[in-house]
């Protein structure tokens, strides 16, 4: 996680662009189709929106076909796979980081992307799925929505574009939450403590 230094405040761009960002692999269970539908609606409302997809995956052709069909090609950037050291510069371009997971019957994982967004000071719009709603709180450290709800994704991104101060507050709180308990150092220390505890119990037993 990129917590070495506080992120710089996001300045409003002279051209008014608002970059919706996604970091991760382009796979069905990451909600790529939901994000595309939401972005189509956003572009219908304002030409200021841009979509930045940082990653690669089997749905890349689906994304490209969708953009071509809806004349969105000029407003969407797909970086493809990038080295980990290059991720911060892409996160710095985002005005909002999205994790639009669909309604999955077994959502058991804690997505790394929300921690990367938070550590980089990017306001978050995400599905209230699995551990996401354990880590983030709606309207306190992120804007959360029921999984698969395109309309809610649109509403929350629009809210952040029109209320930049809200985005700043959410991002600061999310970053503090991540810094307190979800850095690699803290997670490693927790695992080592668990191993040490198990070893002591084994010796006592």
Per-residue model confidence as pLDDT tens digits over 37-69: 999 999 999 999 999 999 999 999 999 999 999
What's the rounded Cα separation, in Å, for the pair 66 and 192? Answer: 46
Q: Determine the pLDDT at residue 112.
A: 87
Whole-model pTM? 0.84
Q: Determine the pLDDT at residue 16.
A: 85
How does residue 181 score in pLDDT terms, banded at 50, 70 and 90? low
157: exposed, middle or buried (Cβ count in 10 Å: 0-12, 13-18, 19+): buried
- Cα–Cα distances in angstroms (integers) from residue 144 to residues 64, 140, 199, in the given order: 27, 10, 40
């Amino acid at each position: 996680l990129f917590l070495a230094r506080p992120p710089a405040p996001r300045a409003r761009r002279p051209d008014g662009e608002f970059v919706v960002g996604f970091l991760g692999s382009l796979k069905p269970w990451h909600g790529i189709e939901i994000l595309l539908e939401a972005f189509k609606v956003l572009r219908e409302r304002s030409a200021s929106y841009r979509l930045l997809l940082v990653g690669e995956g089997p749905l890349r052709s689906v994304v490209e076909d969708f953009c071509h069909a809806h004349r969105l090609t000029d407003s969407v950037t797909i970086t493809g796979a990038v080295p980990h050291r290059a991720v911060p510069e892409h996160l710095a371009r985002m005005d909002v980081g999205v994790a639009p997971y669909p309604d999955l019957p077994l959502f058991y994982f804690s997505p790394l992307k929300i921690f990367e967004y938070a550590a980089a000071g990017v306001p978050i719009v995400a599905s209230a799925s699995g551990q996401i709603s354990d880590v983030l709180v709606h309207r306190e450290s992120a804007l959360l929505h029921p999984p698969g709800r395109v309309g809610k994704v649109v509403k929350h991104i629009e809210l952040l574009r029109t209320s930049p101060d809200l985005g700043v507050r959410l991002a600061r709180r999310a970053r503090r939450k991540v810094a307190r308990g979800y850095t690699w150092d803290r997670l490693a220390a927790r695992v080592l403590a668990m191993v040490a505890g198990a070893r002591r119990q084994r010796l006592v037993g």
